[in-house]
Amino acid sequence: MAEIELKNVSYSFGDRVALEDVSFELNSPFFCAVMGPNGAGKSTLLKLMLGLLKHQSGIIRIMGYDVPREAGKVRRLIGYVPQVIDIDYRVPMSVEEVVAMAALSRDLPPRIMTGSVRRKVREVLELVELDDPSMQFSELSGGQRQRALIARALVSDPRILLLDEPYSMLDFDMKCEIAELLYRLHKDKGIDIFLVAHELSPCIHLEPIVILLNKRVYAIGRAGEVLTLENLRRAYPGLTEVPAGFILGEDHG
């Protein structure tokens, strides 16, 4: 049984097609990166896998569970790291509060932070190399924010981590640090990684499985097989060829 299985999945926002006939399978263990231009449907794909959106046709199964019918069971197996741009920093939240809610969310209200939850929070913060749980989320650097969100996803001991643009708004060194952290979690803790990004350079040396996506899947496989000029030209309409190679533009609608 494939850990992640999508068959002919399509999704549209009104008349605008976001994903069309997307199919792929991933067997554990995997470190997978979905690459595609802006507007390729990468975030939509993650939201469909979590059951936050309901696909209009096709089948999605995560570890044998049907999404969205069994989305509750799926969410217990998955840790989700959203795009930092979707977070409202103006809401006053400490790092401890951000991480603890993931542990408390399985209980019924009132959700009270117990000693064991505090210990668990400190444990995962150590894992992602954050040491002050009392800091306000808004006061963290970009890399620390990403680490705090990864800690939140880890606190419920997930089998799979789904990450939406984990390298966005970071400098290149920080992107590489986040990529190394994810790879360490994959190797040491056995957590499967499924991330979407519009650039793979921070993690390309970690030899991820790459899915090239722009509304539909153009290629899937090891980076060397997938990232060919021919595949990229098909998936990235704005690709510019220059004598030394090619340039992938940021915005390809």
Nearer to another protein, 92 or 243 (CB): 92
Amino acid at 175: K
Which residue ranges make up the site for another protein (CB under 8 A)? Answer: 47, 50, 52, 72, 75-76, 78, 80, 82, 86-88, 90-93, 97-98, 101-102, 104-106, 109-111, 137, 149, 152
Distance in Å, CB of 86 to another protein, minimum: 6
Mark out the alpha helices in 19-111 (DSSP H runs). 42-50, 71-77, 95-104
Distance in Å, CB of 130 to another protein, minimum: 17
Nearer to another protein, 178 or 219 (CB): 178
Nearer to another protein, 26 or 153 (CB): 153
DSSP string, 177-222: HHHHHHHHHHHHH--EEEEEES--TTTGGG--EEEEEESEEEEEEE
DSSP H or E run through 124: helix 115-127
Distance of alpha carbon 34 from its chain centroid, rounded? 9
Distance in Å, CB of 11 to another protein, minimum: 16
Nearer to another protein, 102 or 170 (CB): 102
DSSP string, 91-114: S--BHHHHHHHHHHTTSPSS----
CA distance 217 to 23: 7
Task: Please report, in angstroms and rounded to a whole number, the separation of the first and last CA atoms in the chain.
Answer: 35
Angle between helices 142-154 and 172-189 (to 10 degrees): 20
Nearer to another protein, 68 or 204 (CB): 68
Distance in Å, CB of 49 to another protein, minimum: 10
Distance in Å, CB of 50 to another protein, minimum: 5
Distance in Å, CB of 66 to another protein, minimum: 17
Nearer to another protein, 2 or 52 (CB): 52
